[in-house]
């Protein structure tokens, strides 16, 4: 067993006994920070800017023409590790303008935010680029049911993202102009 | 040396290895037997060979012989030379011959497959995210396995009709069609209803119905299964569920005594579709459209979901004990069912023996279509004969029951699933307590004192005996509604509750142990868990003299006696 050594404390000097140098050093730090740029945010009134590759709440987006992009292929439902996504597939009526080439769209699309782990697999797997994890990070609710985002909510959160594909427009042109028979 | 076995096998050389294959089969099958996949679209083992997709191209050579003398041509090592055909040949249209050499992995074959895949994908819409075939699509599979992996096509693709209704149950997406003609050959060869054909030429070729005709026969949905791509889709299943979520479990169709083998596809306890399961001695790879709709009965509105006694809902055990109280010491009549499983019929017979009950049995009959919808519209009429519940052929009416009711010979009745008003019994005459065991509401269940809900064949396990006396087992595919028990448990509780010394188990293995004990019974020696997926052929010669109603059909020919009867 190690032997306990009792150390003798040095007696305090005069300046140490007055505490003045310490107070001055402390105030110097305080005053220097008063004139620096502010780093605190008045959350929740003020919100931080979110980096572009941030993975927030998964949302559904529409194309620049305001059309639903999701075709309910259910790949996100399949890939979702915590099984947070639940899709009820549906078909698009034949006479619907602008969408007659797509045929399929979700009837209902639910993401359970109590299950979601924000992994971003759904965004990665989506062949239609319809689901994105955007900058929304704060979700709260009073009940479990409230924490399930339905289709309307997902589109409200998602909005429109620029889309370079114009898939349906291309299909429409192909049908109208077509190859000579 | 068995001459028979020897002559039916030939030796071919597959990718450098000598293998034995049955004589007369084609190269796709021969390679398949030895685990080498030769990709193919148009070839189907149960249809004629069309040879139009060109996907199964392989290299072939035969041992060389001198043309003039017929002598074998040898190389420097003294081994017979192989004369390779300079171009690839189709595997589906070439049969094996002794000494034949095949290459399925050579550069020429790989090149051919890449070329064919590229041509097939030229006008393919790449609809995979919305295509119901995705996940079980041969085009997807072979594009991954044998395709080039990138596209060189920059021109505009052809546009074809997207949602053509070919018939009441089949929707066609022409853009996805690869013109394999399987559906056309199926309609011509199996159903003998020639309604489909190609119109236009080249890349504009389009599958269509002949003018004024539609694909409305009762086998139309088989074309959807046959279609290697997503061109033909089932209107019922269209856009309902992706196939990779579906759990497939083998079962047997209950529509008629044909007993088609089926696969029940379900997700989280809900059945989404039924497809045929290949059994070359029963249904090949086909089944009826009407049989595919039977899954709808599971969630139908008139399904019985809770037990009741005199109209009051009770739990199952209370209902069973009040049924036992009602039956004690009575002259009981039992109306059995041709729709029950073999095990249920056996136990019902045992119950009737214990109670010395009168037995009644009703058949269900319709028109025979000569393929897979037989005139006997119950899956297990022969089970009643084999288990001894009945020894005569049932008719679709029950005059004996009407008589017994009139003469007051019985004072309690157990009905298994049957509708008495359809069997020639006036329901007003039924003034005795009725215990109804069944899955769905009907007029008989409404007047019954005790109603005990049971499970459909998708929710329980058991076996059926089909028109060929073929014993086929089915396993539970989805869980039954909450609180319900299989029919076996209910019959067993009645047996054990009604006689003091009875100790019947409701376990399938032990029931089969009892059933297979008798050496005179065709079920002798059968163990339930060992019944193979394609069934066991039983000896039904004992019942040859009965007037079976089935006509000649796919893999079934009636006996001579019954034809004349």
Determine, for residues A103 and B240 on separate chains, whether the beta-carbon distance falls below 8 Å.
no
Residues B432, B411 contacting (CB under 8 angstroms): yes
Q: Does B156 touch chain A (CB under 8 A)?
A: yes
Which of A82-96, A159-173, B286-300, B482-496 has the weakest average pLDDT? A159-173
Determine, for residues B159 and A102 on separate chains, whether the beta-carbon distance falls below 8 Å.
no
* Omega before A6 within 30 of 0, i.e. cis: no
Q: What is the rounded CA–CA span in Å between residue B460 and residue B506?
A: 12
Q: What is the rounded CA–CA span in Å between residue B503 and residue B493?
A: 10
B chain contacts of residue A103, beta-carbon cutoff 8 Å: 130, 162-163, 239
Does position B488 have pLDDT exceeding 90, yes or no?
yes
Q: Does B153 touch chain A (CB under 8 A)?
A: no
Task: For residue A120, give both structure tokens.
Answer: 């971003």
Give backbone dihedrals phi and psi of B93, rounded to 5 degrees, phi first. Answer: -100, 10
Does position B161 have pLDDT exceeding 90, yes or no?
no
CA B201 → CA B116, B188, B209, B326, B555, distances in Å? 18, 21, 16, 74, 38
Q: What is the rounded CA–CA span in Å between residue B241 and residue B478?
A: 16
* β B412-416/B434-438 pair status: parallel
Domain hosting A128: range is 58-161
Q: Write the DSSP string, B362-419.
A: ---B----SSS--SB-STTHHHHHHHTS-SS---SS-HHHHHHHHTT--SEEEEES--
Residues B40, B145 contacting (CB under 8 angstroms): no
Q: What is the average pLDDT across B184-199? A: 95
Query: How confident is the model at residue B561, as a pLDDT?
Result: 45
Q: What is the rounded CA–CA span in Å between residue B81 and residue B388?
A: 66
Q: What is the rounded CA–CA span in Å between residue B181 and residue B287?
A: 19
Query: How confident is the model at residue A63, as a pLDDT?
Result: 86
Q: Which residues pair with B196 in a beta bridge?
A: B209
Q: What is the average pLDDT across B481-485? A: 92
Higher pLDDT: B37 or B127? It is: B37
Q: What angle do CA B377, B378, B383 make, to 5 degrees?
A: 145
Determine, for residues B242 and A78 on separate chains, whether the beta-carbon distance falls below 8 Å.
yes
Q: pLDDT band for A169, please (50, 70, 90 cuts).
A: confident
**Cα distance from B206 to chain A (closest Cα, Å)?**
12
Query: How confident is the model at residue A170, as a pLDDT?
Result: 76
Residues B117, B147 contacting (CB under 8 angstroms): yes
Q: What stretches of B433-535 show up as alpha helix (H) in DSSP?
A: 443-447, 487-498, 508-515
Q: What is the rounded CA–CA span in Å between residue B179 and residue B356?
A: 64
Does position B108 have pLDDT exceeding 70, yes or no?
yes
Higher pLDDT: B54 or A170? It is: B54
Q: What is the average pLDDT across B251-263? A: 95
Q: What is the average pLDDT across B148-165? A: 88
Query: How confident is the model at residue B41, as a pLDDT?
Result: 96
* β B196-199/B101-103 pair status: unpaired
Q: Does B239 touch chain A (CB under 8 A)?
A: yes
3-state class (DSSP) for residue B307: strand
Residues B98, B11 contacting (CB under 8 angstroms): yes
Q: Is residue A75 part of a domain?
A: yes
B chain contacts of residue A178, beta-carbon cutoff 8 Å: 156, 158-159
Q: What is the rounded CA–CA span in Å between residue B352 and residue B410?
A: 13
CATH number at residue A147: 3.30.70.3270
- CA-nearest of B229, B118, B212, B90 to B172 is B229
CA B61 → CA B90, B101, B144, B414, distances in Å? 13, 5, 28, 70
List the single residue in A74, A103, A178 with the smallest CB-CB distance to B162: A103
* Domains identified in chain A, total number: 1
Q: How many cross-chain Cβ pairs, A to B, lie less than 8 Å apart? A: 49
Per-residue pLDDT of A77-113, as tens digits, reads: 999 999 999 999 998 888 777 777 788 999 999 999 9
Query: What residue in A sits closest to B126 (Cα-Cα)?
Result: A127
Q: Is residue A39 part of a domain?
A: no
- CA-nearest of B19, B25, B33 to B49 is B25
Higher pLDDT: B380 or A1? It is: B380
Task: For residue B79, give both structure tokens.
Answer: 């081994």
Query: How confident is the model at residue B171, as a pLDDT?
Result: 95
Does position B177 have pLDDT exceeding 90, yes or no?
yes
Q: What stretches of chain A show up as alpha helix (H) in DSSP?
A: 14-18, 20-34, 75-79, 121-125, 151-158, 167-177
Query: How confident is the model at residue B3, as a pLDDT?
Result: 46
**Cα distance from A127 to chain B (closest Cα, Å)?**
7
Per-residue pLDDT of B454-472, as tens digits, reads: 999 999 999 999 999 999 9
Determine, for residues A181 and B204 on separate chains, whether the beta-carbon distance falls below 8 Å.
yes
Q: What is the average pLDDT across B547-555? A: 91
Q: Is residue A68 part of a domain?
A: yes
Q: Is residue A22 part of a domain?
A: no
User: Side by side, which strands form the sheet with A85-91?
Assistant: A85-91, A104-112, A148-149
Determine, for residues A127 and B128 on separate chains, whether the beta-carbon distance falls below 8 Å.
yes
Q: Domains of chain B by range and CATH?
A: 3-105 (3.10.20.30), 129-135+153-299 (3.30.70.20), 307-564 (3.40.50.740)
Q: What is the rounded CA–CA span in Å between residue B190 and residue B369?
A: 12
Higher pLDDT: B78 or B346? It is: B346
List the single residue in A73, A179, A181 with the smallest CB-CB distance to B129: A73
Q: pLDDT band for B324, please (50, 70, 90 cuts).
A: very high
Q: Does B240 touch chain A (CB under 8 A)?
A: yes
Question: A174, A176, A177, A180: best mutation site toward chain B, by most B Cβ within 10 Å?
Answer: A174
Q: Does B162 touch chain A (CB under 8 A)?
A: yes
List the single residue in B129, B200, B245 with the smallest CB-CB distance to A71: B129
Query: How confident is the model at residue B390, as a pLDDT?
Result: 92
* β B332-335/B412-416 pair status: parallel
Q: Which of residues 191-220 of B touch A (CB under 8 A)?
A: 200, 204
Q: What is the rounded CA–CA span in Å between residue B205 and residue B190?
A: 24
Q: What is the rounded CA–CA span in Å between residue B160 and residue B164?
A: 10
Q: Is residue A122 part of a domain?
A: yes
Query: How confident is the model at residue B325, as a pLDDT?
Result: 93
A chain contacts of residue B241, beta-carbon cutoff 8 Å: 89
Buried b (16+ CB within 10 A) or exposed e, B134-144: bebbbbbebbe
Cβ-based neighbour number of residue B373 at 10 Å: 24
Percent of chain B residues past pLDDT 70, beyond the cut: 98
Q: What is the rounded CA–CA span in Å between residue A83 and residue A115?
A: 7
A chain contacts of residue B238, beta-carbon cutoff 8 Å: 91
Give backbone dihedrals phi and psi of B263, rounded to 5 degrees, phi first. Answer: -115, 125
Query: How confident is the model at residue A181, as a pLDDT?
Result: 59
Q: Is residue A64 part of a domain?
A: yes
Provide the strand spans (E) within chain A.
58-60, 85-91, 104-112, 131-133, 148-149
Question: A69, A70, A101, A172: best mutation site toward chain B, by most B Cβ within 10 Å?
Answer: A101
Q: What is the average pLDDT across B325-341? A: 93
Specify the residue for token string 């029919």.
Answer: B487
Query: How confident is the model at residue B564, as a pLDDT?
Result: 39
Query: What residue in A sits closest to B243 (Cα-Cα)?
Result: A74
Does position A68 have pLDDT exceeding 50, yes or no?
yes
Q: What is the average pLDDT across B289-316? A: 94
Which of A113-117, B147-151, B558-562 has the weakest average pLDDT? B558-562
3-state class (DSSP) for residue B242: coil
Task: For residue B152, give both structure tokens.
Answer: 């060189």
Q: What is the rounded CA–CA span in Å between residue A154 and residue A87?
A: 12
Task: For residue B207, give both structure tokens.
Answer: 């599958």
Q: What is the rounded CA–CA span in Å between residue A34 and residue A29?
A: 9
Determine, for residues A72 and B240 on separate chains, whether the beta-carbon distance falls below 8 Å.
no
Q: What Rg, from alpha-carbon coordinates, does chain A have?
A: 29
Does position B21 have pLDDT exceeding 70, yes or no?
yes
Query: How confident is the model at residue B206, as a pLDDT?
Result: 93
Q: Is residue A47 part of a domain?
A: no
Q: What angle do CA B408, B412, B415 make, to 5 degrees?
A: 115
What is the ipTM, given to two decimal places?
0.83
Q: What is the rounded CA–CA span in Å between residue B219 and residue B214?
A: 13
**Cα distance from B375 to chain A (closest Cα, Å)?**
38
Give backbone dihedrals phi and psi of A98, rounded to 5 degrees, phi first. Answer: 75, -20
Task: For residue B373, give both structure tokens.
Answer: 């919808």
Q: What is the rounded CA–CA span in Å between residue B401 and residue B423?
A: 9
Q: pLDDT band for A166, please (50, 70, 90 cuts).
A: confident
Does position A64 have pLDDT exceeding 90, yes or no?
no
Torsion angle (degrees, nearest 10) of CA B219, B220, B225, B229: 160
Query: What residue in B sits closest to A95 (Cα-Cα)?
Result: B163
B chain contacts of residue A74, beta-carbon cutoff 8 Å: 242, 245
Residues B40, B181 contacting (CB under 8 angstroms): no
Q: What is the rounded CA–CA span in Å between residue A135 and residue A158?
A: 10
Q: Is residue A74 part of a domain?
A: yes
Q: Is the dihedral of CA B87, B91, B92, B96 positive or negative?
A: positive
Query: How confident is the model at residue A65, as a pLDDT?
Result: 83
Which of A99-103, B247-251, B359-363 has the weakest average pLDDT? A99-103
Percent of chain A residues past pLDDT 70, beyond the cut: 97
Q: pLDDT band for B340, please (50, 70, 90 cuts).
A: very high
* β B170-172/B164-165 pair status: antiparallel
A chain contacts of residue B244, beta-carbon cutoff 8 Å: 78
Residues B549, B376 contacting (CB under 8 angstroms): yes
3-state class (DSSP) for residue B309: strand
Q: What is the rounded CA–CA span in Å between residue A174 and residue A172?
A: 5
Q: What is the average pLDDT across B424-435? A: 88
């Amino acid at each position: 067993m190690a032997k306990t050594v009792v150390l003798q404390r040095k007696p305090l000097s005069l300046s140490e006994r007055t505490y003045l140098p310490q107070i001055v050093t402390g105030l110097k730090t305080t005053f220097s920070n008063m004139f620096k740029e502010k780093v605190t945010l008045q959350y929740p009134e003020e919100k931080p800017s979110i980096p572009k590759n941030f993975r927030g709440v998964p949302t559904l987006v529409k194309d620049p023409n305001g059309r639903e992009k999701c075709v309910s292929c259910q790949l996100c439902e399949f890939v979702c590790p915590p099984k947070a996504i639940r899709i009820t597939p549906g078909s698009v009526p034949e006479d619907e303008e602008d969408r007659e080439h797509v045929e399929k769209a979700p009837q209902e699309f639910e993401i359970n935010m109590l299950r979601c782990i924000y992994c971003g697999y759904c965004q990665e797997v989506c062949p239609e680029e319809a689901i994105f994890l955007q900058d929304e990070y704060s979700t709260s609710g009073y009940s479990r049911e409230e924490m399930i985002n339905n289709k309307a909510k997902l589109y409200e959160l998602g909005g429109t993202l620029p889309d370079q594909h114009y898939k349906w427009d291309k299909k429409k042109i192909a049908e109208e102009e077509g190859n000579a028979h | 040396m068995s001459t028979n076995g020897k002559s039916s096998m030939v030796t071919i050389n597959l990718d450098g290895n000598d293998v034995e294959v049955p004589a007369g089969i084609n190269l796709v099958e021969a390679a398949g037997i030895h685990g080498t996949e030769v990709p193919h679209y148009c070839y189907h083992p149960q249809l004629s060979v069309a040879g139009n997709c060109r996907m199964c191209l392989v290299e072939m050579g035969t041992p060389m012989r001198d043309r003039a003398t017929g002598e074998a041509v040898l190389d420097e090592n003294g081994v017979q030379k192989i004369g390779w055909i300079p171009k690839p040949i189709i595997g589906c249209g070439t049969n094996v011959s002794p000494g034949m050499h095949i290459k399925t992995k050579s550069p020429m074959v790989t090149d051919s497959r890449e070329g064919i895949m590229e041509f097939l994908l030229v006008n393919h819409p790449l609809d995979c995210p919305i295509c119901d075939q995705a996940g079980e699509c041969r085009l997807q599979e072979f594009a991954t396995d044998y395709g080039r992996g990138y596209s060189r096509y920059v021109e505009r693709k052809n546009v074809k009709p997207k949602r053509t209704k070919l018939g009441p149950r089949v929707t066609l997406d022409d853009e996805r069609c690869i013109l394999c003609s399987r559906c056309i050959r199926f309609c011509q060869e199996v159903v003998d209803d020639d309604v489909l054909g190609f119109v236009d030429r080249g890349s504009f070729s389009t599958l269509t119905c002949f003018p004024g005709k539609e694909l409305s026969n009762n086998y139309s949905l088989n074309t959807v299964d046959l279609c290697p791509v997503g061109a033909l889709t089932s209107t019922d299943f269209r856009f309902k569920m992706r196939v990779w979520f579906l759990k497939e479990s083998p079962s047997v169709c209950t529509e008629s005594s044909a007993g088609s083998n089926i696969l029940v596809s379900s997700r989280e306890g809900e059945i989404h579709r039924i497809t045929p399961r290949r059994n070359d001695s029963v249904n090949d790879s086909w089944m009826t459209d009407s049989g595919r709709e039977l899954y709808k009965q599971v969630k139908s509105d008139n399904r019985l979901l809770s037990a009741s006694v005199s109209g009051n809902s009770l739990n199952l055990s209370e209902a069973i004990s009040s049924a036992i109280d009602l039956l004690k010491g009575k002259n009981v009549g039992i109306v059995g069912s041709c729709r029950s499983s073999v095990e249920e019929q056996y136990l019902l017979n045992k119950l009737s023996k214990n109670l010395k009950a009168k037995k009644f049995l009703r058949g269900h009959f319709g028109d025979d279509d000569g393929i897979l919808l037989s005139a006997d519209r119950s899956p297990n009429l022969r089970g009643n004969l084999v288990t001894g519940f009945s020894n005569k052929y049932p008719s679709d009416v029950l005059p004996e029951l009407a008589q017994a009711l009139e003469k007051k010979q019985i004072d309690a009745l157990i009905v298994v699933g049957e509708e008495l008003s359809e069997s020639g019994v006036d329901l007003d005459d039924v003034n005795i307590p009725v215990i109804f065991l069944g899955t769905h509401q009907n007029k008989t269940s409404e007047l019954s004192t005790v109603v005990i809900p049971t499970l459909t064949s998708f929710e329980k396990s058991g076996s059926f005996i089909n028109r060929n006396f073929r014993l086929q087992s089915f396993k539970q595919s989805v869980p039954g509604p909450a609180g319900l028990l299989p029919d076996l448990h209910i019959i067993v509780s009645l047996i054990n509750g009604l006689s003091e010394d009875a100790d019947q188990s409701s376990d399938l293995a032990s029931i089969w142990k009892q059933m297979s004990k008798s050496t005179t019974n065709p079920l002798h020696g059968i163990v339930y868990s060992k019944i193979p997926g394609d069934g066991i052929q039983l000896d039904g010669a004992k019942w040859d003299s009965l007037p079976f109603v089935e006509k000649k059909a796919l893999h079934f020919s009636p006996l001579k006696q019954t034809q004349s009867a």
